[in-house]
Structure 1
């Protein structure tokens, strides 16, 4: 039996362990996550990050009307529903049945419905080159051990010239303790340690796994998958925004970035 301190560590796990842990985590935590963050994310809205940057203002996906759009790791699919209101032909996928249950409920209350599929981001159930745009806001990418394979899978389903935009925790955040307060200003980890953050139960079984990659790692993954990086957006903490979200806080956000948004296109 593991003691409380030994249950949280940065250590290697297998792809299978990571997949099982995170599917179980998001299925079990779906209700709590939506209760805590649902009002911030909205039912029909596309919020890229805890800083509150919205696609309606940022236009990172470009013109989506009439485009086939895939949301990977959609959670409760608020972003997909917003895209549908912009006349996109959108499909949303997620590995977690718990999160998709909330997506179904929100479709009923909002009246905005999009096709929902339970699917692994490493094995998307679509043909080659069928989408014009793919996107995710903190979905899928941090939770797979081989994120390079996920980039290749997204590239496969995009047409040449298709756009791929995703947000993740800014890699430099991994240097610091996961704390929104002053303790979170102390650098304690090596930026170059790619060991994932792992939570385990008392029996030692992983229950939550999140992966770290450096900025250079991400760019190399994208280039290897056939993408061209067009922009790297690091949203600044907006004045007057006082809401905490996990490790995100006004204190930290005013000093260093918490989110990185990669904007890419598939090479012709």
Structure 2
């Protein structure tokens, strides 16, 4: 059963070693992520599952590693503590899960952890089904859900400006603040997400599937900004 979720963005700039000179301006975002992860840990889950977009659907066990070396920083991150699952460290974590593992390592969590990589392709029903399955992995499951909003919010954004981006991100923000009561995240289609470069779609839909059984009555939006033309949201569901 899902007992708590922290929703965070996954830009590598969230890591001070990567952002360097820009680290201070991202401190409010970093602090909001820490607050959401702290609330997740305080819910005392039996298992924390980090969920984020990647190239395929795959489960990564504790001990899997990711790296920021591709961003010019000799920094590697391990997902939790190595466990007994053979081959847990064989497959590198995608960037979203690497950032998630870094955030989790900053917290007080030292318990069991796994990760689920969700491919950008795939219909919403499949993503929700993955979430329902993940919610059954332990008696009390906590999710750390990684993903960005549109990367087309202004002229300097990675995807340049698209006038549809800000209204879409506003709906994403409202859905995260309400617990997706209107089902917007649950039904967000692949084509729209691709056009507006919304990386968080598959991970958010896993979250809606995991939470479909109810139990999460408190939904807080902790951060909503687009400092580099990319929508960054932080939310806490408990």
Classify the TM-score, shorter chain: 0.3 to 0.5
By percentage of residues, which structure has more helix? Answer: 2
TM-score (norm 2): 0.42
Greater C-alpha radius of gyration: 1
TM-score (norm 1): 0.38
